[in-house]
Amino acid sequence: FGQPPQPLLLKLTSPAGRSIQTTRDLPGFWRGSWKDVQREMKGRYPKHRWPDEPWAEDPSLKTRNAFEASKRT
């Protein structure tokens, strides 16, 4: 990003806005530590969606139930 190109630093946060992880390699995060983060966040925030393939999902701020309800209409 920019001139000269510099890596973009991403700070991933929980639904509460707390820092979960910082990465410069988002594809590597999805392949690597996402499963650990997903497992921990599912326990802490059960009302939210934690998809197995987040890169293939549409972004949403809705809870799991609200997201499913919006897909039915």
pLDDT confidence of residue 10: 94
pTM for the full model?
Answer: 0.72
pLDDT confidence of residue 45: 93
Indicate the burial class of 67 (C-beta count within 10 angstroms; 0-12, 13-18, 19 or more): middle
* Residues facing residue 11 across a β-bridge: 22
pLDDT of 66 strictly over 90: no
The Cα 24–Cα 12 span in angstroms is 11
When pLDDT is averaged across residues 2-25 and rounded to a whole number, the result is 90
CB distance 22 to 11 below 8 Å: yes
CB neighbours of residue 13 within 10 Å: 10
> What residue spans define the domains of the chain?
10-72
